[in-house]
Structures are given as structure tokens and as C-alpha cells.
């Protein structure tokens, strides 16, 4: 059984965004008007209509992480120029379910718990120099 | 194949499809009690570095290494335990290198489960404490989490060895109505938040000609990860529960709707479904009977409101997640217009123990109206963060202060973003659907976020209102516009620009939004505001006077470094997100122009050299 949302998620994870021709293909495949595919693509947070950068950074803005001060990470990203850098895509997320290790940051799909500004800054500078995050950025 | 009719008992027709549970059980027991090293590799364990530990263990030893789910005490992760030489399991905490790790305690792998299972005699340890006597575990009673952290999640033989699929085998010889009756008598209520009696929901669906089963694994509440842990650590328990539900209401098709933010849980469930099919526990002629049922996985895409049952149904159908007016309820008219039973992950995981141990077992736990146990994720300002399961009726104080070992608690937030904040003075309240509602909060799905003096209650209320505003689907006016207006007002207060009349306006709006909204999101969104106003009104008034006592609201605080106390360690500079701190003559100074008043330096300084004013 195929679900529209599952298919869109597959495209999103393959390209990092939803290209227009793929949306048209989905519209035909599921036999639903393109307007509905588009409304779905804009309603759900997981989708983006623009290409994403080389590195994807998520900061958790869930309750447990905010209580433990995760909001300053966004300030750090801003200060480091990450928010305007095309190589980076930043998206806040509401909870990864790793709340016991709050505050949580996810970089290129890997979850890092008990994050500090210091550690985040080091990891980002590593990313700007080479392309893999490594844990010696501790 | 005979047509199924009410009251008719299943016939065992397909000998070739019959499942040999005893053989699976033997195989599982062999694996569970052979010498092994188990590493907890749920999402929480992985975030703490469990995969690195796993790699190291694999490269250094040729022992049998098992990846298991979450044992609960996430604060001590990575957790690793060793079973060898006929001894019980010895747990190590905070493992970086196994040779250097500290022992947390020991346990018998079967001792958390309420199901009676066969096991060999293992010898305990005299020199180490027992896990069940540790403050974190002492008051826990595991029903839902019976296998989490014990079995390898995708090894169906280990699931069977721990009593799995006996319940399904049992109900296949019962009449569907008797199954419903059993669940009704147990007193089980939905664990997704609202607490609707599960047996009654099944009865309504069956009467309407039940067609579909849905497992709600959207778990959108930030700060909550109970469902994720169950799906990652013991997926078969949910699949078996759904299969029993399908038999009871007469459904042939089921769906698990999981949020996309949980990639590991999605993968585990997909694989578990495949394995269950292969073993004849799903698909045509389940366990050799004429009962057929199958499950598909539908993924969410990051919309909180899709946890609401009618929005979730719309989402599976391929629409945007807008709630629909109830009634009709899904049990009458649900997915594709057909009667549908939708229950939460934890609700489903409770089903097999109820069937296997009998409803009396379940009803003996808990309070008069709230039976059984509840899983909570205990997070925030608490020492023992983790996943716990406690009998209903236990007090919040026991949970937070004894199990969590929290100190200087100010409030506990229950019920997710639309729940309420319960102050320390009222923490003796029993965990019970009605009791929590009386205090203006809700049971919700099980997130418990502990707050202390460093938390500003006005800021917390603002956070939740913003959350609900953003997550509102926008369909109905009170929720869409009311919440926006409320956020603006509370924002003003946190900036020190509010007035007492703004509080009045907020109260009025809260009343309108709560009463006029279409779905549960709007109806409950004012709860965090109302409870903080009820219990922490003084904090609102202080903000109006221009003070934030917790020092959180940035517009109302400043920071400076006291030269005499500064040791020049530089930790503040390293942790300043705004690059506002620099070294001047061996001490550090904050540049007020650049400072954003976030308080990072204040919380990292070990010498109390940063002053808030
Ligand atoms: C805004 C909103 C969000 C919800 N989110 C969830 C959720 O994430 N998980 C869940 O199981 N129930 C959630 N619910 C409750 C469901 O609507 C529904 O009551 C529940 O899935 C029924 O299952 P139960 O009877 O087993 O609790 C939510 C309700 C509302 C109003
Ligand atoms: S609140 Fe951040 S991971 Fe849950």
C-alpha cells in the first residue's frame, strides 16, 4: 500500500527538497490535483520547496531542551554566520525524543546530546573547514 | 473460508500455517540466557555515544554482543550489561570504556515483567546493589516496558520467550465479544491523553462493523519519548496488541502512524512487521486460523496537530492534517469513512498482559478510576532523567523527588504543550486522570518536565502558547487568531512592557479559545497560561514591574563579570554565543553592546564571577 506522505518524504530525503517535476509526478501517480500536493508540501514541516545546503543542522526547541537552554544555540549559529551560509540549512525541530540528554542538536543526521555552545562552535568551525563532523570536536 | 459471524469461534484450518510457539520460546530462552554483552542502542543511547561503545566492544572481544532497547535510566547512558557464567545481568553506567566503567547494579532479566515466564536459575551478585533497589527503579512497576532493554527488539524468539504471542494464541480461541469484555473489565483507558475507556471504544467500533485499526505513534509532545522507546525497544508488543484489537473488532487492516522525526522507530516497526508476517503472526491465516490481518506504516511529516485522531486520519488519507468535527467519532466513521479504532502506542502495548494475566491483574493496579500503570519521560531539571513506568495513583512528589531525585523543584509540567504546570506545593497529587484535571492540568501522554528556580514561569507559558500558535492548523478562528493575540500579549509582558489589564485580557481570551475551538489543540492550549496564572501570578506581576526573578527574560536582565572573582579560565568566552566576551588584562569582560543577555556565561562560570543585575 502506498501513501502520499510516505512518497513525498522519500523524495524529500533523496533530494533534500521537493523538486517541481517530482510533485507533478506524484500528482499523476496518486491521481490527486497538483494543488493538493502543493498544499501538503507547504502544510507539513518536514518538506521544503527549496534545495538545502551541504550540511543540515537541527536545534531541538522541544520543552526539555529549551528548559536546558537550547535557545542560545541559535544565537551562536547566527553569530557564526551559519544562518546566511548557503552551505548550511538550519531548521529548528520540536523534540527528537532524546529529551533525557537535553539540550540536543542534530548535525547531518547524527544526534548529539548534552550540547554546549563551546562544543557547537567547534563542531561548526570543523564543518566549515572539512565536510565530516567528528567527535573530537568535544 | 467460513464467513465470520458474531459469537462464532475461530476454526484452526491451516495446519501448514500453524506456529510452534514452544519451539520459538526454546530458541529465545537460549539466546536470552547465553553469555552476552548487551548495549542499549535506542535513540537516547546513541545520542550518548552507544554506537562508539558498541564498535569498541566488537573490535576488542569475540563475545556475543546484543543491541537492546532502553533500560530507562537515560541519565546514565550509555548503559551496558554483561551476562556470563550463569550469573545475573551486571549493569555498567556512563560507559566510555568498559574496563573503566562504574557498576550501576544487577538484575534478573525476567524480573521486570509481570508475565510468568520460564527461565534458568541465575546467580545474583553479593558485592553489588540490586537494580530493583536503586531509587530510580524501586517504585516502578513495568507492564508496558516489560521487555524494553531486555530483549533484542527484532528477535521474535526472544519476544516469545518473554511471554509474547501467548495472548494472541489465547484470544484466537475466544469469542471477539469476550475479548472486548476482558479489556472493558480491566479498566484500561487510552494513554494518548484523553483517557477514553479502551474497551468501550472497541465495543462501539465492533457494533458499527469495525474496519480498521490505527496505532497513534505521532508522539508530538515535545519533552516526551515514551512511545518512541516502546517502538524501538519492543515493537512486537504493539503489533501483538493491534492484532488482538483487530480480532476483537473484526478489522482486517491496520496502520501505524509514526512521526518522521523518529527514523529508528520507523525502521524497527517496518522490520518487525515483516518478521511477524514471515512467522505467521500477521497476514493471511494468522497462526493457522481463518483470521487474517495486516499492518502498514504511514509516516507523519512534522505537524503536531496530526496527533489528533481526526487530523491523523486525514493525513493517512493523503490530505493536510486538519481535524474534523466530532461526532461522528472515528469508531463510528473513521478512516475512509469506515469504523476505525485508534489507540496510542502505550495503550496497545498494555493489551497482551491484560489478556494473558486476566483483567483482575490490571484492575488491581492503580486508583478507582485510573487503572494500571503509566509510562512517563522524566526530563528537565532532574538528576535521574529517564523513562519510568509507575502504578497510577503514585504521587507526583514520589516520581519527581524519589525516582528523579530532583532538588529545589519549582513546578512540574504534565500533559505536554497543552498541559499545565503543577507547583511544588501541590506535588502530593496522585497521578490519576481526574486528579490532574482538577488541578487544571491533564495526564496527557506522559511527558513530565521538571522546572526549578532557573525557570521563568511566564517564559514557559509564552513558550507553550507560541508552540500551539505555530502548530495550530488554522482551520478554526478562535484557535488561529486567539492564540496569536495571546502570544503578542504575553510577549509584551516578558519584555516588561505589560500591564495588569493585559493579564485580564489574556484570561478572557483563554476562556474564548478553550470554549470555542474545534479540536483538542485549541481547547487545551490555554492550560499552561491558566495554570501559571493560577499558581505563579506573582511572577507575572513582577514582570509587569520590570523584573524577571529567574533571570530568563532577556529584556529584563543584564550580566557583568566581577573582576575580583574572575580567575581568567575563559570558559565564559568559549560558551558565549554572541562573541561578546573578551580578555582584558587577564580577566574577562562582557561588551554590553554585543551582549544578548542569554545567561550562558552565568550558568557555565564555576566561580560565581558572573553577576546578574
Ligand atoms: C492536538 C492533539 C494532539 C494529540 N497528539 C497525540 C499524540 O501525539 N499521540 C497520541 O497517542 N494521541 C494524541 N492525541 C489524542 C488522540 O486524538 C486520540 O485521543 C488518541 O490517539 C486515542 O488513543 P487512546 O484512546 O489510546 O489514548 C492528540 C490530541 C490532540 C487534540
Ligand atoms: S525536547 Fe529536545 S529532544 Fe525532546
How far apart (Å, rounded) are the C-alpha atoms in residues B544 and B54?
A: 53
pLDDT, residue A52, reads 87
* pLDDT value of residue B558: 94
pLDDT in tens, B508-544: 999 999 999 999 999 999 999 999 999 999 999 999 9
ipTM of the complex: 0.89
Q: How far, in Å, is the centroid of ligand 2 from the Cα of A78? A: 21
Distance B309 CA to ligand 1 centre (A): 6
Distance CA A112, CA B130 (A): 31
Mean pLDDT over A68-94 rounds to 93
Least confident of B7-16, B149-158, B195-204, B382-391: B7-16
Cβ contact B577–A67 (<8 Å) = no
Is B215 a pocket residue for ligand 1 (Cβ < 6 Å)? Answer: no
State the closest ligand 2 atom to the C-alpha of B224, by its place in the atom list counted from 1: 4
In angstroms, how far is the first alpha carbon of chain A from the final one? 44
Residue B579 grid cell? 562573541
- What percentage of chain B reaches a pLDDT higher than 90? 94
Domain residue extents for chain A = 2-43, 55-137
State which CATH number among 3.40.50.300, 3.30.450.40, 3.40.30.10, 3.50.50.60 fits the domain covering A55-137. 3.40.30.10
Indicate the pLDDT class of residue A132, thresholds 50, 70 and 90.
low
> How many CB contacts within 8 angstroms connect chain A with chain B?
177
Mean pLDDT for chain A?
Answer: 91
Q: Which ligand is nearest to the CA of B418?
A: 1
Ligand nearest B342 Cα, by number? 1
Q: Which residues in chain A have their CB less than 8 angstroms from residue B56's CB?
A: none
Three-class DSSP labels, B202-249? HHHHHHCCCCEEEEEECCCCCCCCHHHHHHHHCHHHHHHHHHHHHHHH
Residue B12 has a pLDDT of 63
The overall average pLDDT reported for chain B is: 95
State the ligand closest to the CA atom of B326. 1
Q: Which of B344, B444, B472 to mutate to test the pocket of ligand 1 (most atoms within 8 A of CB)?
A: B344
* The three grid cell numbers given for residue B176, joined into one nine-digit string: 471477539
Q: Which three cell numbers stand for residue B571?
A: 570558559
Q: What is the pLDDT of residues B370-395, one digit of tens each?
A: 999 999 999 999 999 999 999 999 99
Average pLDDT over residues A112-122: 95
Domains of chain B: 33-134 (3.40.30), 156-363 (3.40.50.11540), 373-452 (3.10.20.600), 457-544 (1.20.1440.230), 558-612 (3.30.70.20)
Residue B520 beta carbon below 6 angstroms from any ligand 1 atom: yes
pLDDT of residue B19: 81
> Residues 95..124 of A with a Cβ closer than 8 Å to B: which?
95-102, 104, 111-114, 116-118, 121
Average pLDDT over residues B158-180: 97
Mutating to test ligand 1, I would choose from B216, B371, B374 the residue with most ligand atoms within 8 A of its C-beta, which is B216
Asked if B110 contacts B119 with a C-beta cutoff of 8 angstroms, the reply is: yes
Q: Does A83 touch chain B (CB under 8 A)?
A: no
Chain B residues within 8 A of A46 when measuring between CB atoms: 260, 301-302
Q: Is B486's pLDDT higher than 60?
A: yes
CB pair distance less than 8 Å for B219 and A97: yes
B375/B393 Cα distance (integer angstroms): 13
Q: Do B463 and A63 touch (CB under 8 A)?
A: yes
Inter-chain contact B575–A116, Cβ cutoff 8 Å?
Answer: yes
Interval B43-79: pLDDT, tens? 999 999 999 999 999 998 889 999 999 999 999 999 9
What mean pLDDT do residues B434-446 have? 93
User: Is the shortest distance between the CB of B266 and ligand 1 below 6 Å?
Assistant: no
Query: What pLDDT score was predicted for residue B134?
Result: 96
Share of chain B above pLDDT 70, in %: 98
Q: Please state, as a whole number, how many other Cβ atoms lie within 10 Å of the Cβ of residue B416.
A: 29
Amino acid at each position: 500500500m502506498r501513501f502520499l506522505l510516505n512518497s513525498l518524504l522519500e523524495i524529500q530525503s533523496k533530494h533534500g527538497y521537493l523538486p517541481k517535476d517530482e510533485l507533478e509526478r506524484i500528482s499523476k501517480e496518486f491521481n490527486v490535483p497538483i494543488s493538493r500536493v502543493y498544499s501538503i508540501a507547504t502544510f507539513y514541516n518536514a518538506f521544503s520547496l527549496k534545495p538545502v545546503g551541504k550540511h543540515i543542522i537541527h536545534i531541538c526547541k522541544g520543552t526539555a531542551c529549551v528548559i536546558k537552554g537550547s535557545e542560545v544555540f541559535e544565537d551562536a549559529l547566527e553569530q557564526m554566520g551559519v544562518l546566511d551560509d548557503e552551505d548550511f540549512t538550519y531548521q529548528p525541530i520540536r523534540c527528537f525524543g532524546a529529551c533525557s540528554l537535553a539540550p540536543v542538536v542534530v548535525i547531518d543526521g547524527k544526534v548529539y546530546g548534552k550540547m554546549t555552545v563551546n562544543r557547537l562552535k567547534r563542531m561548526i568551525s570543523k564543518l566549515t573547514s572539512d565536510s565530516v563532523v567528528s567527535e573530537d570536536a568535544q | 473460508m467460513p464467513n465470520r459471524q458474531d459469537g462464532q469461534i475461530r476454526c484452526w484450518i491451516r495446519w501448514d500455517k500453524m506456529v510452534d510457539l514452544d519451539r520459538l520460546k526454546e530458541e529465545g530462552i537460549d539466546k536470552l540466557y547465553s553469555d552476552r554483552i548487551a548495549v542499549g542502542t535506542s535513540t537516547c543511547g546513541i545520542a550518548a555515544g552507544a554506537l562508539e561503545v558498541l564498535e569498541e566492544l566488537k573490535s576488542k572481544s569475540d563475545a556475543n554482543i546484543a543491541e537492546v532497547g532502553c533500560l530507562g535510566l537515560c541519565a546514565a547512558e550509555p548503559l551496558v550489561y554483561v551476562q556470563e557464567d550463569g550469573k545475573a545481568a551486571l549493569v555498567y553506567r556512563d560507559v566510555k570504556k568498559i574496563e573503566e566503567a562504574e557498576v550501576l547494579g544487577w538484575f534478573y532479566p525476567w524480573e521486570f515483567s509481570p508475565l510468568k515466564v520460564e527461565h534458568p536459575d541465575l546467580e545474583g551478585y553479593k558485592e553489588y546493589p540490586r537494580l530493583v533497589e536503586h531509587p530510580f527503579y524501586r517504585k516502578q512497576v513495568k507492564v508496558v516496558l516489560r521487555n524494553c532493554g531486555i530483549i533484542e527488539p527484532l528477535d521474535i524468539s526472544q519476544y516469545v520467550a518473554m511471554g509474547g504471542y501467548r495472548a494472541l494464541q489465547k484470544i484466537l480461541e475466544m469469542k471477539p465479544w469476550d475479548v472486548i469484555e476482558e479489556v472493558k473489565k480491566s479498566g484500561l483507558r487510552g494513554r494518548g491523553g484523553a483517557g477514553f475507556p479502551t474497551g468501550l471504544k472497541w465495543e462501539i467500533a465492533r457494533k458499527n462493523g469495525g474496519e480498521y485499526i490505527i496505532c497513534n505513534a505521532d508522539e508530538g509532545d515535545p519533552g516526551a519519548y515514551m512511545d518512541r522507546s516502546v517502538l524501538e525497544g519492543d515493537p512486537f508488543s504493539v503489533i501483538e496488541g493491534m492484532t488482538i484489537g483487530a480480532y476483537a473488532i473484526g478489522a482486517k487492516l491496520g496502520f501505524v502512524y509514526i512521526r518522521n522525526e523518529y527514523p529508528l522507530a520507523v525502521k524497527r516497526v517496518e522490520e518487525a512487521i515483516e518478521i511477524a508476517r514471515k512467522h505467521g503472526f500477521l497476514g493471511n491465516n494468522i497462526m493457522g486460523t481463518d483470521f487474517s490481518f495486516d499492518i502498514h506504516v504511514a509516516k507523519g511529516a512534522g505537524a503536531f496537530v496530526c496527533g489528533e485522531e481526526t487530523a491523523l486520519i486525514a493525513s493517512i488519507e493523503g490530505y493536510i492534517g486538519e481535524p474534523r468535527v466530532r461526532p461522528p467519532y472515528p469508531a463510528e466513521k473513521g478512516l475512509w469513512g469506515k469504523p476505525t479504532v485508534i489507540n496510542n502506542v502505550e495503550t496497545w502495548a498494555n493489551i497482551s498482559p491484560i489478556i494473558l494475566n486476566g483483567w483482575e491483574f490490571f484492575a488491581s493496579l492503580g486508583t478507582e478510576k485510573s487503572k494500571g500503570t503509566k509510562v512517563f519521560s522524566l526530563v528537565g531539571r532532574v538528576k535521574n532523567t529517564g523513562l519510568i513506568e509507575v502504578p497510577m495513583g503514585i504521587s507526583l512528589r514520589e516520581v519527581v523527588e524519589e525516582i528523579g531525585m530532583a532538588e529545589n523543584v519549582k513546578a512540574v509540567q504534565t500533559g505536554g504543550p497543552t498541559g499545565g504546570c503543577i507547583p511544588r506545593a501541590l506535588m502530593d497529587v496522585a497521578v490519576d486522570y481526574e486528579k490532574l484535571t482538577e488541578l487544571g492540568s491533564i495526564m496527557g501522554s506522559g511527558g513530565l518536565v521538571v522546572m526549578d528556580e532557573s525557570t521563568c514561569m511566564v517564559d514557559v507559558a509564552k513558550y507553550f502558547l507560541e508552540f500551539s500558535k505555530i502548530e495550530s492548523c488554522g482551520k478554526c478562528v478562535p484557535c488561529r487568531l486567539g492564540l496569536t493575540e495571546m502570544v503578542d500579549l504575553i510577549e509584551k509582558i516578558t519584555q516588561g512592557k505589560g500591564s495588569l489589564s493585559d493579564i485580564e485580557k489574556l484570561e478572557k481570551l483563554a476562556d474564548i479559545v478553550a470554549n470555542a475551538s474545534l479540536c483538542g489543540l485549541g481547547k487545551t492550549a490555554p492550560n499552561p497560561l491558566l495554570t501559571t496564572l493560577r499558581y505563579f501570578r506573582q511572577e507575572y506581576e513582577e514582570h509587569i514591574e520590570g523584573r524577571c526573578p529567574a533571570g530568563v527574560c532577556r529584556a529584563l536582565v543584564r550580566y557583568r563579570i566581577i573582576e575580583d572573582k574572575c580567575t581568567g579560565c575563559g570558559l565564559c568566552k568559549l560558551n558565549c554565543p554572541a562573541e561578546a566576551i573578551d580578555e582584558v588584562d587577564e580577566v574577562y569582560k562582557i561588551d554590553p553592546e554585543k551582549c544578548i543577555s542569554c545567561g550562558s556565561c552565568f550558568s557555565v562560570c564555576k566561580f560565581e564571577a558572573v553577576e546578574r543585575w
